[in-house]
Structure 1
Amino acid sequence: MAHMVFCTKYKAEMEGLDEPPFDSDFGQKIYKNVSKKAWAAWVEHQKMLLNEYRLQPWTREAQEFLVEQMNAYFFGEGSALPKEYVPPSQ
């Protein structure tokens, strides 16, 4: 049976992640409150942040920034887009 959560992003009962994304209290919070669909949307948003800010994901500064953005994305006001960001045209 699928792990179900009330998704904080989509405000609906949805299928949750198969396991916590991190071995921490924050990872448990995401596991209990974020759907697979919302996590997939975050992964795409994170790629944009990495590219737009030219982040080196192995650095502590980049990791701390991404965790702050992830917290805002799922549990706060939302992760802000960079001022210079122009969405790709389809």
Structure 2
Amino acid sequence: MSRTVFCTRLKKDAEGLDFQLYPGDLGKRIFDNISKEAWAEWQSKQTMLINEKKLNMMNVDHRKLLETEMVNFLFEGQDVIIEGYTPPSK
């Protein structure tokens, strides 16, 4: 049975995550307040960030940058901005 959360990112009730995907207090906050849909959006943005900025997940500073961007995206409503990236036109 799926659980419903009020998603902070989407500002609506939506299907919650099945389990905590991120460690620690931040992971608990994500589990309690972020929907599957918003998490999927973040995963797409995360992939773009890693690729476009050539982040190395072995580098502590790069992981901190990614975590900061994640918090800003999921909880502060800020979009991920990548310099030089132009979304494809429809």
TM-score clears 0.5: yes
Letter of the structure 1 residue corresponding to residue 73 of structure 2: Y
1:36 aligns with 2:36: yes
Kept in 2: contact 1:7–1:34 (CA 8 A): yes
Deviation at 1:52, TM superposition (A): 1.2
Q: Output the TM-score relative to the length of structure 2.
A: 0.91
Q: Identify the residue that residue 24 of structure 1 maps to in structure 2.
A: 24
Partner of 1:78: 78
Work out the CA distance in 2 between the residues paired with 1:51 and 1:89: 20
TM-score (norm 1): 0.91
SS in 2 for 1:19: coil
Over 2 Å off, 4+ runs = none
Deviations 1:5-32 (A, max 9, x none): 0001111111111111122000000000
Paired position in structure 2 for 1:61: 61
Q: CA deviation at 1:76?
A: 1.1
**RMSD of Structure 2 on Structure 1 (CA):** 1.4
2:87 alignment counterpart: 87
Confirm or deny: 8 A CA contact 1:70 1:79 kept in the other structure: no
In structure 2, the gaps of 5 or more residues are: none
